[in-house]
Amino acid sequence: MNKNNVQIFDTTLRDGEQVPGCKLNTEQKIVIAKRLDLLGVDVIEAGFPISSPGDFKSVEEISKIIKNASVCALTRANEKDIEAAAKALKYAVHPRIHTGIGTSDSHIIHKFKSTQEKIIERAIQAVSYAKNFVDDVEFYAEDAGRTDNKFLAKVCEAVINAGATVLNIPDTTGYCLPGEYGAKIKYLKDNVKGIENVILSCHCHNDLGLATANAIAGIQNGARQIECTINGIGERAGNTSLEEVVMILRQHPYLNLDTRVNSKLLYDTSQLVQQSMGMMVQPNKAIVGENAFAHSSGIHQDGVIKNRETYEIINPADVGVNESSIVLTARSGRAALAYRAKNVGYELTKIELDILYPQFLNYADSRKEVHDADIHQLISLNKPLKSSVNF
Ligand code: KIV
Ligand code: ZN
């Protein structure tokens, strides 16, 4: 693997689908999996086969169809889960089993009522067992974000020796600060024997709104896989958003890190997931939200009309959005009104704009937004204005 390549592990169909009310059927999952493969993700986590017959079937069907990306199935650290995953992945060209166990004191004491020694033993057994079925075994240390680094390093070294190919370091509760999460990855890079032979993976939750920042901090400290979802959907406040990490790396080329994702398909893929799950993103969602490339204040509109780069760091075409939009509101200026009027066929002179603009402001004050039909109406109400322009 090129050391500047960051692998994209998409978990929209597993962690993403854990959102209440967003369950997908097998057909819907197949459509999304095909789109993810086309998008260029490296790994598709297709489900958790032991969890239900429907999830088993989805992983099995996706395994039959996907030819480029690895298809991954989640398990807990026990033989039954691993056997179900292996069976569901039977037809996959590139199968991966994702097994693991909680490693924080909170998980060891309250969830497993166990000890650190026994947890390491179970981790080794799970990875060794999974290796009987597939070569590619990813280990997750659940709640690694709150796990003591020294113990985490011990777990990582043990599972590398057992054959793990990828080490997932989840900030399961979204607790870490970016500096802290980055330092955790660096600590593992510096202190785990054999770490150079595996890929470290960032799996960050968004409980404090830091999932994307934490994943990027992990990558800057040597991780080379990001686990993420389309639109950042997932348990509670969600996961790292795929579109955000892809565009962060692309917009900061000096980092010398990139993914294989075809960014021009990001907007359409986001729409597909929103519609399939019935879960719309907020308008101000980075990259794919309705307002991500919309400008409504006069100062910004004037700048964007003169040169898009004054207020946009991403070319909308690069993420599959047709163009930036100039939204007309009571905060819009003359340049925006002239621009939108031109778009619907009226080349306004300076005098015409002087007459129309105050009327536009009065009209806009009573509305949230002024649409094309409103522009036609405003102009048609100005007979002398209407007769002075050719339409
Ligand atoms: O958040 C988490 O820890 C997980 C693991 C199961 C990988 O989703
Ligand atoms: Zn998760």
Determine the longest span between alpha carbons in the chain, in angstroms.
87
7-277 falls under which CATH superfamily?
Aldolase class I (3.20.20.70)
Alpha helices in the chain (DSSP H): 26-39, 53-65, 79-88, 105-106, 116-131, 149-161, 178-191, 211-220, 242-251, 266-277, 298-306, 334-343, 350-365, 372-380, 383-388
Beta bridge partners of 228: 10
Minimal CA–CA distance to 156: which of 148, 146, 171, 167? 167
For the cut 70, the answer to whether the pLDDT of residue 148 exceeds it is yes
CA distance 12 to 266: 14
For the cut 80, the answer to whether the pLDDT of residue 20 exceeds it is yes
Q: Is the CB of 168 under 6 A from ligand 1?
A: yes
pLDDT of residue 207: 98
Q: How confident is the model at residue 384 (pLDDT cuts 50, 70, 90)?
A: low
For the cut 80, the answer to whether the pLDDT of residue 386 exceeds it is no
Residue 142 C-alpha to ligand 1 middle, in angstroms? 6
CA distance 264 to 254: 21
CB contact at 8 A, 293 and 321: yes
pLDDT of residue 391: 39
Nearest CA to ligand 1 atom 8: 15
Q: How confident is the model at residue 390 (pLDDT cuts 50, 70, 90)?
A: very low
Both tokens of 385, joined, read 């204005």
Question: What percentage of the chain has pLDDT greater than the value 90?
Answer: 94
pLDDT of residue 385: 56
Residue 321 C-alpha to ligand 1 middle, in angstroms? 32
Express each pLDDT in 311-366 by its tens digit: 999 999 999 999 899 999 999 999 999 999 999 999 999 999 999 999 999 999 99
Q: Half-sphere exposure of 124 toward its Cβ, with a 13 Å CA cutoff?
A: 12
Minimal CA–CA distance to 321: which of 262, 245, 259, 268? 268
Minimal CA–CA distance to 29: which of 66, 77, 4? 66
In the predicted model, what is the mean pLDDT of residues 17-26? 92
Q: Is the CB of 14 under 6 A from ligand 1?
A: no
Express each pLDDT in 156-190 by its tens digit: 999 999 999 999 999 999 999 999 999 999 999 99
Q: Would you call 283 exposed, middle or buried from its count of C-beta atoms within 10 A (0-12, 13-18, 19+)?
A: exposed
Q: What is the pTM of this model?
A: 0.95
Q: Report domain extents, the chain.
A: 7-277, 294-386
Nearest CA to ligand 1 atom 7: 140
Express each pLDDT in 210-231 by its tens digit: 999 999 999 999 999 999 999 9
Q: Is the CB of 75 under 6 A from ligand 1?
A: no
CA distance 112 to 100: 13
Both tokens of 101, joined, read 């166990």
Q: How confident is the model at residue 369 (pLDDT cuts 50, 70, 90)?
A: very high
Express each pLDDT in 98-110 by its tens digit: 999 999 999 999 9
Q: Would you call 128 exposed, middle or buried from its count of C-beta atoms within 10 A (0-12, 13-18, 19+)?
A: middle
CA distance 104 to 91: 35
